[in-house]
Amino acid sequence: MTEAIDAPEPVRLWTRASRTLAQLRPQRVGLRTRILLIFTMGFLVLSIFLAAITFSFAKSTLVNQRDRSNVEQAYRDAGVALNDLRSSPASAQPVIDTLSRLGIGFPLLNYHDDWTAGSARFGPEAVPALLKDRVLIDGVPARMIVTLDGEAVMIIGIPIPEVGAAYFEFSSLSEINSTLRSVALSLMFAGFITTLFGVVLGTVASRRVVKPLGDAAQAAKAIAGGRLDTRLETTDDHDLKLLADSFNDMASALQQRVERDARFASDVSHELRSPLMTLAASVEVMQARRDEMPERAQAALDLLVGDVIRFQGLVEDLLEISRFDAGAIRLHLEDLPVAEFVRQAIGVSSLPQTPLTVTERAERLVMHVDRRRLARVVANLIDNARLHGGGEPEAIVSEAENEGEPIGHVWIAVEDHGSGVPLDERHLIFERFARGAVAGRRSSSDGAGLGLALVDEHVRLHGGNVWVEDRLDGEPGARFVIELPAEEVRP
Amino acid sequence: MAGVGTRILTVEDDERIRTAVKLALEDEGWTVDEAGSGEEAIELFHRGSPDVVLFDIMLPGIDGFELCRHLRKTSDVPIVMVTARADTHDVVAGLEAGADDYLTKPFAPKELSARIRALLRRIRPMSPGHSKLVFGDLEIIPDEGKVTRGGTELHLTKTEFRLLVELAHSPGRVFSRESLLDKVWGYDYFGDGRLVDVHIRRLRTKVESDAANPRHVVTVRGLGYRLQS
């Protein structure tokens, strides 16, 4: 039996799919896309494979059924032909007529090598030579499926040696074909649905696979952001457990290290406090007797006093910074009117005469801050202006938002008359001991270089920002701005 | 110069610090007694009856908190403690143990003198005819330094008494933390508000019949404190 329709080859398709996957390199396609592609391709191949098997099975079943009934019919018709030819052996025409009457569509009779056909279309020329040979020469029954004018037709040939004849019968298979077409159509639809299911499943699976990675990334980000106690949840999943455990081990090691470093700085500063206490008290005693000292001793005492104060500031700053690093800062937050606060903070700074300008709307602003910590921020900015900005700074309090907009932030700015800060040093200036290139141009007797770093840490802890820019009036000099959340109170 | 003859008992286990602080305080005009431990301090205290006690919280043996509680059992003397850090619980714990003020190490002896002077300040004289202030069952006689509740005399520390009298000066008026810090402790805008909060708490345990539901010393949320009858 010759097959009319070829099944597609799943193997060939699979190789093509894997080649496509190989072309999509990992660096260009994300893990999720790759998982999705694998699922989609897998389901596509699977559905094609299943469809092919189903189709060929359906086809062979249908054809076999049809085959059997056709063969039985042909034998019956051949029996009719034998009877007719026995009773009237002169001509084959009556046989065809009888069969036509019985409703047999396309009979063909070979009687003493003469062909008689029931229909012009299905004459002897339609019968392939191979079939003719089998039936007429070998004398055995045979059948064959051929395509006539685009239509599948089964031809069954039965030799009738008793009267020297052979009976051929044509039967159309077109209805089987149409059945098979609708089967193929539904299989294609089923394949499409299956593939779609694969896409959905792939999306879900890729999301689930990537989720632990996302969690890990988020945890890593949290750790980098200073929340050192962040850990991944441990799971029962063996593969994920490996990731979670090693991540958590790394985080613990990191935390220990950071804490040890922070503790060291804190311990050192603490240890320095006792000798500093003695120094501070002794220096005060000497200062009270400064006038009794010779000139050179006075000069030396002045140096000593200056550096004891500087040393004290450095230890305080180091302690505060190490508290930041250890995450041990607890803010005592309270609602404070901004303008009044800044006025007071300037009053206790190193330049208490610094003029303060407050815009009309900013007068009504209230912020939620730690009073003493924020006072240090203002004091540090003024110290910075005093040491590096040529002294005589001005402070400005203004709302961050434009006119007409609701106010959510306040700007507390300190403008100086120094040489300003070059663009490429503006982010460096807030780093610890970041005197670097800036130091060259600045005076040597400046602070420890922790002042602005502390400003940055404090302001960020308050949910604000700090930056340096050019003076707003275009004159040479720097403008340090801290931006803090603030609210307008209705008068 | 502060009152000559005002005795300060300094308790500090580090001898070098003790010596330097003594030198500096004597320059300020105080008479200074030294103790190297809590035990020694208790002994000296009972022998010499100082006007002010200064101690470091970190002491070997009897620590600062314990020393403070011990002194408070019998005395209303102003106590200043020295802590390592301002932002720890130590400060609140020390104040609750009975300290009146605190300093963080290293401090300038001049600053310490200023603190002591503030604690020793006398209460404002009353206007004539107001020698006795009455708030319900509470009676305050500022000139005698006496407070009674229902006729029974209460034992307040000097600072608690000054705080109460300050509130009593303007009955019903709300005092902000800042103004109390200024009037009682002599602090500016940047004084530690916990000083007021803890002292108010301590005051309530003494003048209120139910400190958890104060009737006299009431909190006005977001504004401060007020005394009422």
Annotated domain spans of chain A:
10-181, 238-325, 333-488
What is the residue-averaged pLDDT of chain B? 88
* pTM for the predicted model, two decimal places: 0.64
| A332 neighbourhood in chain B, CB within 8 Å | 193-194
| β-strand partners of B45 | none
Shared-domain flag, residues B80 and B184: no
Band of residue B99 on the pLDDT scale cut at 50, 70, 90: very high
Shared-domain flag, residues B179 and B111: no
Q: Does B17 touch chain A (CB under 8 A)?
A: yes
Specify if B197 maps to a domain. yes
Shared-domain flag, residues B77 and B49: yes
Tell me which residue in A281, A330, A371 faces B21 most closely, judged by beta carbons: A281
User: Fold for domain A333-488?
Assistant: Heat Shock Protein 90 (3.30.565)
| B16 neighbourhood in chain A, CB within 8 Å | 274-275, 278
Tell me which residue in B24, B85, B190 faces A348 most closely, judged by beta carbons: B190
Q: Are B80 and B101 in contact (CB under 8 A)?
A: yes
Count of structural domains, chain B = 2
| B106 neighbourhood in chain A, CB within 8 Å | 273, 276-277, 279-280, 312, 315
Question: Which pLDDT score is estimated for A322?
Answer: 80
Question: Which pLDDT score is estimated for A268?
Answer: 82
Name the residue in chain B with its Cα closest to that of A323. Answer: B87
Backbone dihedral angles phi then psi of residue B129, each to the nearest 5 degrees: 90, -5
Question: Which pLDDT score is estimated for A289?
Answer: 94
Burial class (CB in 10 A: 0-12, 13-18, 19+), A118: buried
* Residue B187, both tokens: 């602090």
Tell me which residue in A279, A335, A348 faces B188 most closely, judged by beta carbons: A348
Backbone dihedral angles phi then psi of residue B87, each to the nearest 5 degrees: -100, 15
Long-range contacts of A35-41 (CB under 8 A, 24+ apart): A35/A202, A35/A205, A35/A206, A35/A209, A36/A199, A36/A202, A36/A203, A36/A206, A37/A202, A38/A202, A39/A198, A39/A199, A39/A201, A39/A202, A39/A205, A39/A206, A40/A195, A40/A198, A40/A199, A40/A202, A41/A17
User: Does the beta-carbon distance from A278 to B20 stay under 8 Å?
Assistant: yes
How far apart, in Å, are the Cα atoms of A394 and each of A197, A352, A441, A469, B189?
69, 11, 22, 14, 21
* Residue A356, both tokens: 């303060």
Cβ neighbours of residue A459 closer than 8 Å, sequence gap 6 or more: A377, A465, A466, A482, A483, A484
Name the residue in chain B with its Cα closest to that of A373. Answer: B190
Question: Which pLDDT score is estimated for A95?
Answer: 82
Shared-domain flag, residues B81 and B140: no
Question: Which pLDDT score is estimated for A83?
Answer: 86
Tell me which residue in A274, A279, A372 faces B190 most closely, judged by beta carbons: A372
User: Does the beta-carbon distance from B190 to A332 stay under 8 Å?
Assistant: no
Distance CA(A349)–CA(A328), nearest Å, equals 26
| A371 neighbourhood in chain B, CB within 8 Å | 189-190, 193
Q: Does A281 touch chain B (CB under 8 A)?
A: yes
User: Does the beta-carbon distance from B17 to A319 stay under 8 Å?
Assistant: no
Backbone Cα Rg of chain A:
49
Shared-domain flag, residues B152 and B95: no
Burial class (CB in 10 A: 0-12, 13-18, 19+), A341: buried
Specify if B127 maps to a domain. no
Instruction: Walk along chain A (491 residues) and give the pLDDT tens digit of each residue.
Output: 444 444 445 555 555 555 565 555 555 678 888 888 898 999 999 999 999 999 999 888 888 888 888 888 888 888 888 888 888 787 878 888 888 887 777 888 888 888 888 777 788 888 888 888 888 888 888 888 888 877 888 888 999 888 888 888 888 887 888 888 888 899 999 989 988 998 999 899 888 888 888 888 888 898 888 788 888 887 788 878 888 888 889 989 988 888 888 778 778 877 888 899 999 999 999 999 999 999 999 999 999 998 998 888 888 888 888 878 777 788 888 888 999 999 999 998 889 999 999 998 889 899 999 988 899 899 999 988 888 888 789 999 999 888 888 888 999 999 998 888 888 888 888 888 765 455 444 444 455 578 888 999 999 999 999 999 998 888 888 999 999 999 888 76
Residue A93 CA, chain-centre distance (Å), reads: 81
Shared-domain flag, residues B109 and B68: yes
Shared-domain flag, residues B18 and B109: yes
Task: Determine the distance in angstroms separating the CA of B221 from the nearest CA of chain A, rounded to an integer.
Answer: 12
Question: Which pLDDT score is estimated for A464?
Answer: 93
Shared-domain flag, residues B37 and B109: yes
Shared-domain flag, residues B192 and B155: yes
Task: Determine the distance in angstroms separating the CA of B193 from the nearest CA of chain A, rounded to an integer.
Answer: 9
Amino acid of residue B228? Q
Shared-domain flag, residues B164 and B187: yes
Shared-domain flag, residues B90 and B187: no
Q: Does B27 touch chain A (CB under 8 A)?
A: yes
The correct answer on CATH 3.40.50.300 for the domain covering A10-181 is: no
User: Does the beta-carbon distance from B87 to A323 stay under 8 Å?
Assistant: yes
Mean pLDDT of B104-128: 83
Distance CA(A247)–CA(B167), nearest Å, equals 58
Return the CATH number at B88.
3.40.50.2300
In the three-class reduction of DSSP (H, G, I as helix; E, B as strand; rest coil), residue A486 is classed as strand
Tell me which residue in B14, B23, B222 faces A274 most closely, judged by beta carbons: B14
Distance CA(B71)–CA(B53), nearest Å, equals 9
| β-strand partners of A2 | none
Specify if B126 maps to a domain. no
Residues in chain B: 229
Question: Which pLDDT score is estimated for B19?
Answer: 94
| Last-in-domain residue among B51, B85, B120 | B120
Shared-domain flag, residues B146 and B178: yes
Question: Which pLDDT score is estimated for A444?
Answer: 43
* Residue B178, both tokens: 């800042």
Boundaries of domain holding B61: 7-120
| Last-in-domain residue among B64, B99, B120 | B120
Tell me which residue in A277, A334, A371 faces B105 most closely, judged by beta carbons: A277
Quote the ipTM score: 0.85
Burial class (CB in 10 A: 0-12, 13-18, 19+), A443: exposed
In words, the CATH class of domain A238-325 is: mainly alpha
Distance CA(A405)–CA(A484), nearest Å, equals 16
Distance CA(A178)–CA(A97), nearest Å, equals 31
**The tokens 């102003």 sit on which residue?**
B78
How do B133-135 and B101-104 pair as beta strands? unpaired
Mean pLDDT of B183-194: 87
Mean pLDDT of B70-78: 91
